[in-house]
Amino acid sequence: MRIDTDNLLTIEQAAAEIGAPNKRPVYRAIQRARAAGKETAVVLYGKTLVPRDKIVVLKDFYYPYYSEAHQKMVKQWGASGGTQKKKNAEARAAKPKS
């Protein structure tokens, strides 16, 4: 069985497509998209690949540093762009005051 990889991009190629300086912002964008319920990456034989048609979705979750979009993202997700800070804040808000 042959797997068609013509429409799959490596993380480096995806970084070039969205204008990211390195691979880290791509992985963070994939993480934020997954947390929002959108699947943007495929793991094939242990290698993370991004379908070409999902690049637009990935761009929606990529926030260049010091941009207005990045500042909005920091308020929502936390400085690192992960979901843990948001989860901790929600847990604190849900916890009854003693």
Q: What are the residues whose beta carbons fall under 8 Å from the beta carbon of 35, sequence distance 6 or more? A: 83
pTM of this structure: 0.65
Q: Cα 27 from chain centroid?
A: 5
* Higher per-residue pLDDT: 83 or 41: 41
20 three-state secondary structure = coil
How high is the pLDDT of residue 71? 73
CA nearest neighbour of 11 among 22, 2, 80, 3: 22
Could you state, in order of their start, the residue ranges of all structural domains in the chain? 8-94
Mean pLDDT taken over the chain: 82
* Tens digits of residue pLDDT in 13-59: 999 998 888 998 899 889 888 988 998 899 988 899 999 999 999 98
